[in-house]
A = this chain, B = another copy of it.
Amino acid sequence: MCELLGMSANVPTDICFSFTGFLHRGGGTGPHRDGWGIAFYEEGGYRDFRDPHPSVRSPIARLIRDYPIKSHVVISHIRQANVGQVRLANTHPFVREMWGQPWCYAHNGQLAGWQALPLSFYTPVGDTDSEHAFCWLLGELRRRFPRRPANDVEREGMWRLLHQLCERLRGLGVFNLLLADGDYLYTFCSTKLAHITRRAPFGQASLSDAELAVNFAEHTTPDDIVSVIATEPLTDNEAWERMAPGELLVWRDGTIRARYGRREPEPGAAAGCV
A→B interface (CB under 8 Å): 42-50, 52, 59-60, 63, 67, 87-91, 96-97, 99-102, 121-126
| Bound CA span A129–B208, Å | 48
**Are A100 and B125 within 8 A (Cβ)?**
yes
A125 partner, pick from B48, B63, B91, B102, beta carbons under 8 A: B102
| Known interface pairs A59-B67, A60-B67; A87-B43 also in contact (CB < 8 Å) | yes
**Are B100 and A97 within 8 A (Cβ)?**
no
Nearest first, the 5 A-B pairs at minimum CB distance are A45-B88, A45-B89, A100-B123, A44-B89, A43-B87
CB distance from A84 to the nearest CB of B (A): 11
Consensus secondary structure, chain A interface: mixed
CB distance from A111 to the nearest CB of B (A): 19
Contacts of A46 in B (CB 8 A): 88-89, 125
- Residue from A48, A52, A102, A123 having most chain B Cβ neighbours under 10 A: A123
**Are A45 and B125 within 8 A (Cβ)?**
yes
A sample of 10 more A-B contacts (CB under 8 A), given A43-B88, A59-B63, A100-B125, is A42-B87, A42-B88, A44-B87, A45-B91, A45-B126, A46-B88, A46-B125, A96-B97, A100-B123, A102-B125
CB distance from A229 to the nearest CB of B (A): 23
**Are B44 and A125 within 8 A (Cβ)?**
yes
**Are B125 and A101 within 8 A (Cβ)?**
yes
Contacts of A100 in B (CB 8 A): 123-125
Contacts of A124 in B (CB 8 A): 100
Contacts of A88 in B (CB 8 A): 42-47
| Bound CA span A211–B35, Å | 36
CB distance from A125 to the nearest CB of B (A): 6
